[in-house]
Amino acid sequence: MKVSLDKKISKSFKIVVSKVVLFFLGRGIITLFKNDSKIKQEIESWNDNFIIQITTEDTAIDWQIQKRQGKLYRVKESKQNLSISFKSVDILFKLVTGRLGVSKAYAEHRFLLKGEIKDAMSFVRVIDRTEGYLFPSIMTKRILKEVPKREKPMLEIYGRLLLNM
């Protein structure tokens, strides 16, 4: 089966954008773990060596984060405690660009979840709060049921994220 050049470029673009957004989402979670009490409290409830993965069924994307000894790290491991596998890059692209919310994607069965639902809900709360800091309010109002109140100014978090603080 031949895929047109247009589709290849389109899928390649979606993969790159999704990877970039997930990179900053990971940095955002790590930064906010140090700077936001609600995210810190949520992540501290996770077991030590807890690994979360976001992937696509065709494995074009494989993003993982681990809580280890009270800190968060980006990792590449083979055994995850929680895996969220999107059925296609197109769906993940819609999610990371703010055109689809996690709750709607879940309701429409657009991803597969392996792991405990309580862990997934905790992770979704962390993502929602992180998106509240990283995305402009126009986007967050469309994809989140409630825009979380920030404990720190958005610009401070962006600065810390970019400086890896």
35-91 pLDDT per residue, tens:
899 999 999 999 999 999 999 987 778 899 999 999 999 888 778 999 999 999 989
**Highest mean pLDDT out of 114-123, 124-133, 154-163:** 114-123
pLDDT over threshold 70, residue 165? no
Distance between CA atoms of 71 and 66, rounded to whole angstroms?
Answer: 8
- 134 within 8 A of 153, measured Cβ to Cβ: no
- 89 within 8 A of 105, measured Cβ to Cβ: no
| CATH number of the domain encompassing residue 81 | 3.30.1050.10
> In this predicted structure, what is the pLDDT of residue 164?
73
> In this predicted structure, what is the pLDDT of residue 97?
83
Distance between CA atoms of 115 and 83, rounded to whole angstroms?
Answer: 7
pLDDT over threshold 70, residue 30? yes
Domain that holds residue 116: 5-162
| Model pLDDT for residues 125-139, shown as the tens digit of each residue | 898 888 888 877 777
């709750």: which residue's tokens?
A: 103
Entry pTM: 0.83
How many domains does the chain fold into? Answer: 1
Q: Which two tokens stand for residue 104?
A: 């709607």
Distance between CA atoms of 106 and 104, rounded to whole angstroms?
Answer: 5
- Neighbouring residues of 130: CB distance < 8 A, sequence distance ≥ 6: 25, 28, 29, 32, 39
> In this predicted structure, what is the pLDDT of residue 1?
58
